[in-house]
Structure 1
Amino acid sequence: MPYKKILIALECTDDENNVIEEAIRLAGTLNADLSAFHVNDPAAGKAHDDGQPAPGK
């Protein structure tokens, strides 16, 4: 049973070009749907300071 759907997760970096190209090739070969997603958490990397101690502290 061939794959009918392919999902790739992206970070939007230059290193992903080969992943994207291979996913497109594979989807074409298998006649599969290709979906990609990227999640951007705007709070990621920001300091957490709500006045409470960090868990485990």
Structure 2
Amino acid sequence: MLKWALIMAVIALIAGGLGFTGVAGAAAGIAKILFFLFLVGFVIFLVLGFMAGKKVTGN
């Protein structure tokens, strides 16, 4: 998902440089959404990994 966010960001930069502001705005919006989804997924899996890695102590 991060790969797609980076691809959309590059498309937005190229389209903005060429003057296609509508395409650039749409690609930038998609890149933001994909990056946010990647970040949320990363945090969720990071927390789950820490929780699964803890040892249960007690008898």
TM-score (norm 2): 0.35
Q: RCO (CA 8 Å, sep 6+): is it higher in 1 or 2? A: 1
- Compare the two structures and name the one with the higher strand fraction: 1
TM-score, normalization by structure 1: 0.36
